[in-house]
Amino acid sequence: MANPKKKHEKNLAGAFYCTDPDDDGGEGCIACNVCYSGAPEFFAEDDHGNAYVKKQPSTAKEIELCQEQIDACPVNSIGKDG
């Protein structure tokens, strides 16, 4: 489960977030590119390849797509508040 206390500083405020790569709980982003290649409208990579949320989903279809990225993340570094 993504640590909501270790959110990437570039995340756009909202329900979905990516964790900082330095999350010492072992669930930080590893720059695998799954989310930002699977949903590039919502996820982006920083200068080090680590993911962050650049746009929050607003429709049911968009939320479903972002949820798919949570499910696909190999280290559980994507989370959703609420």
pLDDT in tens, 35-66: 999 999 999 999 999 999 999 999 999 999 99
Model pTM score: 0.92
All structural domains of the chain: 4-80 (3.30.70.20)
pLDDT bracket for residue 23 (50, 70, 90): low
pLDDT bracket for residue 16 (50, 70, 90): very high
CA dist., res. 48 & res. 8, Å (int): 12
